Each structure stands twice: as structure tokens, then as C-alpha cells.
Amino acid sequence: MTRRPGRIGGRDLLQAARSAAEPLARRFDAAGHRLWLVGGAVRDAVAGHQRQVTDLDCATGAHPGQVKELVAAVAEAVWAQGERYGTIGCVIGERTFEITTYRTECYRGDSRKPAVAFGADIEEDLARRDFTVNAMACDILTGAFVDPYDGRGDLAAGVLRTPLAPQVSFREDPLRLLRAARFIAGHGLAPGPGLTDAVRELAGRLAIVSAERVRDELERLLVLDDPGPGLRFLAATAVLDSVLPALASADVEQLGRTVAAVPATPAARWAALLADHPDSAAARLRELRGSGALIERVDWYLSALAGLSPPPQGAPALRRAAHTSRVDPAAIEFVRAVRRARGEPVADIDAFEAALAELRSVESVDDPKPPLTGTDVMDLLGLEPGPEVGRALDHLRELRFDRGPLSPDEARAELLRWRSRQA
């Protein structure tokens, strides 16, 4: 391993990050600890990216308790949820810092939680990073640059490697099997020697990682501009089968095109990923500990896809679709994007959208106000509260779908006719 201090690409980006962290680094230095920039800010600077970075990852020899003391006097907020893993977070000005003690981390046996031991120096810490492109560090005060595994060279060559042997790295944290797919898709990197074989060999080890961490990492892949290369990698290494068995026989090329075609929001991308399995999508997301809000939104997209294939025609069907499916522009665009990605025609979707817009211009179809209340119905028909009132209101709603808006007088007349037929 070699130290390679010196200037690196993306100097403006790196200098901005160093300047933002300098007051904090001086507090650490006064207490006898170095503070290093690590992670995405350093990687992006090496790659020559020019973007605003508000979240900064740092590494230090100070232990978590010491870190909390050092940041407490200058931070607007401090959180220690990650303290057991050596990480303290804080907000200073417009920046968020996550400061982690030099550490080693691995999963042992069938444990779902990583075992953490604090390390002695920055190079030992970098050895345990996921990939060489993330195993670089810059001293905030001096600008000294440490790149013991030639992350710069790998970025330049477009290669994804692990600092240690890939089997060692992936055994230490199996979530890296998924993270590899994200870096392949998000950074345009190709797997280095032995990496693909190691992922394929250890795919089953993801079973010891918590469902929440698996879901979060999959989601980070899905919301990339083009997650296709990552999905192809997961399919080729059997990782996709391991985490989403329903997709084992999927056409992964088509899957990638479909996911990339819809808006890059978690719900839309999950819905596109699971579009061929609408009946089991909610169950799959529950297994991955997806939130109720996410599952509901995914189901909403998939219901729109089913309800608009083919789209309803005629005013009564349009009213029902708008009311029961809550069809809105986002749902229609999702359906259109999925069908285009599949090579299916969308002229009928365009016609449906135009017809619905025309109908909406003359009446309220999404949440029409009922012409009569439950109290009105009870007074008219001499009913007590109960199921019969609900059936009467349901009858009015069906009439509303079939005929359009009803005046209160029309509704009363229809209810009286309906009641006479019930006798």
C-alpha cells in the first residue's frame, strides 16, 4: 500500500468540502485527532464531478464519545443512532456531517448485525471500505491524499474492485453484493477480476442481512437514471433471484428498460419492477419491510396499469375509472411509460386521457359531491340508520356514473322509484 498525496481532480469540489469542514477539523486537531474526508465527496472530486455536496462523510481516530464532545459545542444538532457502529452525525451550518471512528466491520456466522471493532489508522479503515473508489481519504487540514488501493486508477479505468480480495470484502458485509450493482449502474464501472464470481458464489449470504437494508440498497439502485446495468449484474450473479425470487425468470433486459422509463421515484420504480407480478407485489414489499405508504402507492400504480389495459371507453366507464381508480396524470403517464417500454401501442391511452379531460371540463368526476346526504335519504324513505341507507346511497352513486350529475330533486325521484321496486 502506498500513500499518494497531491492534487486531485475536481479541486473546486474538494476545496469546498475541505473549507466547510475546516473549523471542525481544527477542533479535532487541537484534541490530538486527525479528521479525514472520505466517501462520496472524495470519490466525486477524483472523478472530476462538479456538484454541490451538503452531506460529508469523515473518518477519525477519536472514539464516538470523544466525537460527541468535540462536535457538541459547534453543531446545531447531534444524533447518535449509529454510535454502536462508531458513527456520530451532526449539522453545522448548511452541512450534514457523519463522523465515523476508524473501524473494521463484518458479519459473523448467521448474524444479521455487523460486528464492529475500532481501528488504529486511516489506512486500516480504508482497507475495510466496500470498493477501491471509496477507499480514498483527504486530510481536511493538510490536503494530504491517501489512496492505498489505487481508487484513482480504477475510476480512470472504469473498473470496480474491492480493497481486499472480493470474497473477503463481501463476506465482511454481504450488502456489498447489492451495492456493487449500484456502482456498476451509477458510476459506469465494470466488474474487476474475480468480482463477479465472488458475488455469484456468495449470493446466498444476503439472507443474513436485514430486510430493511436490502430494500434500501435496492431502492438506491432503482432510482438511478438507468438501473439496467445493475439489474443485469444482479440477474447474472443470481442475487436478484435471492432477494426477489418472483423475478427469477424475468427478461432482465426488458425489466431494465421498463424501470428506467418511469419517473425516478421509489414507488414508480418499484411498481415498474414488479409490474408483471401485481398480485404478489404487496407481499414482496412487506417481506422487504416496505412502509405502508410505499405499498399503497405501488398498488395504486399497478391498479392503474391493470385498469387502463385496455382503457375504459364511454362516459359511464370514464366516471367509474376516475372515481374508483383515482386516475390522475401521474398514473396515466406511468401506464403510458410502461407500455412504451414494452413496445406496446399508446394511442388508446392518449385517446382515454383526452376523453377524460373533456369530461372533467364539464363535470366533477374524481370525487363528485352526492346529491343527497344519508340524513336526506333517511328522511325521504323513513329509514333508521343501517345497511339500507348505504344501499340507497350506492344506488345514487351508480346512477351518477351512468347518467352524470343528478339534482337533488332528480335523486329523490330516483330513490322513490328504487324503493318501490324493493317492495
What's phi and psi for 117, nearest 5 deg?
Answer: -130, 135
Report the residue count for the chain: 423
Domain count within the chain: 4
| Residue 293: inside a domain | yes
Whether the CB-CB separation of 4 and 147 falls below 8 Å is answered with yes
At 51, the amino acid letter reads R
Please tell me the predicted confidence (pLDDT) of residue 43. Answer: 93
Q: What is the pLDDT of residue 238?
A: 95
Phi, psi dihedrals of residue 344, rounded to the nearest 5°: -95, 155
Q: Show which of 157, 190, 225 is a domain's final residue.
A: 157
Residues contacting residue 282 through CB under 8 Å, at least 6 positions apart: 295, 298, 299
> Given this model, what pLDDT does residue 370 score?
85
Please check whether residue 299 lies inside any domain of the structure.
yes
The reported pLDDT for the residue numbered 365 is 82
Burial of 29 (0-12, 13-18, 19+ CB in 10 A): middle
Domain range enclosing 176: 158-243
Q: Are residues 171 and 142 in the same domain?
A: no
Q: Quote the pLDDT of residue 8.
A: 44
Q: Does a structural domain hold residue 141?
A: yes
φ and ψ at residue 101, rounded to 5 degrees:
-65, 140
Q: Of the residues 188, 218, 243, which one is the last residue of a structural domain?
A: 243
- Cα dihedral 29, 12, 137, 94, rounded to 10, equals 60
Residue 253 covered by a domain: no
Give the list of residues 6+ apart from residue 34 with CB closer than 8 angstroms, or none: 25, 28, 60, 61, 122, 139, 141
172, three cell numbers: 465482511
Q: What is the 3-state secondary structure (H, E, C) of 343-397?
A: CCCCHHHHHHHHHHHHHHCCCCCCCCCCCCCHHHHHHHHCCCCCHHHHHHHHHHH
The amino acid at 143: G
CA angle, 369 then 411 then 372, to 5°: 40
Residue 313 lies in a domain: yes
Residue 179 lies in a domain: yes
Task: Specify the pLDDT at position 323.
Answer: 79
Residues 137 and 24 in one domain: yes
Beta bridge partners of 35: 60
Same domain, 195 and 296: no
DSSP annotation of 39 reads T
Q: What is the CATH number of the domain that holds 165?
A: 1.10.110.30
3-state class (DSSP) for residue 409: helix
Q: Are strands 159-160 and 190-191 parallel, antiparallel or unpaired?
A: parallel
> Within this chain, do residues 326 and 193 fall inside the same structural domain, yes or no?
no
Around 118, how many Cα atoms within 13 Å sit in the side-chain half-sphere?
A: 14
Q: Could you say which DSSP state residue 104 is in? A: E
Say if residue 93 is in the same domain as residue 187. Answer: no
Question: Does 218 lie in the same domain as 283?
Answer: no
Give the model's pLDDT for residue 10.
Answer: 56
Angle at 416 between CA 414 and CA 417, to 5 degrees: 65
Q: Based on the domain organization, do 362 and 274 belong to the same domain?
A: yes
Are 19 and 72 part of one and the same domain? yes
Domain of 112, CATH number, reads 3.30.460.10
Report how far residue 357's alpha carbon sits from residue 130's, in angstroms, rounded to the nearest whole number: 51
Give me the amino acid identity at 118: F
Quote the pTM value: 0.86
- The count of other CB atoms within 10 Å of the CB of residue 280 is 12
Are both 398 and 348 inside the same structural domain?
no
User: Domain boundary at 122, 157, 192, which?
Assistant: 157
Digits of tens for pLDDT over the chain (423 positions)?
334 433 444 567 888 889 999 999 999 999 999 999 999 999 999 988 766 677 899 999 999 999 999 999 899 999 998 898 899 999 998 899 999 999 876 666 666 566 677 888 999 999 999 999 999 999 999 999 999 999 999 999 999 999 999 999 999 899 999 999 999 999 999 999 999 999 999 999 999 999 999 999 999 999 999 999 999 999 999 999 999 999 988 999 999 999 999 999 999 999 999 999 999 999 999 999 999 999 999 999 999 999 898 899 999 999 888 877 667 889 999 999 999 999 999 999 999 999 999 998 888 887 778 899 999 999 999 999 999 999 999 999 999 999 999 999 999 999 999 999 886
The CA-atom distances, in angstroms, between 29 and each of 134, 316, 400 are 24, 73, 73
Is 113 a member of any domain? yes
| Whether residue 151 is found in the same domain as residue 3 | yes
Please check whether residues 169 and 298 belong to one and the same domain.
Answer: no
CA atoms within 13 A on the CB side of 95: 22
CA distance 148 to 1: 5
C-alpha radius of gyration, the chain, whole number: 29
Residue 6: the pLDDT is 38
Q: Tell me the backbone φ, ψ of residue 346, rounded to 5 degrees.
A: -125, 5
pLDDT given for residue 7 in this prediction: 42
Indicate if 84 and 138 belong to the same structural domain: yes
Domain contains 50: yes
Residue 419, amino acid: R
DSSP string of 147-201, one letter each residue: -TT-HHHHHHHTEE--SS-HHHHHHH-TTHHHHHHHHHHHH--EE-TTHHHHHHH
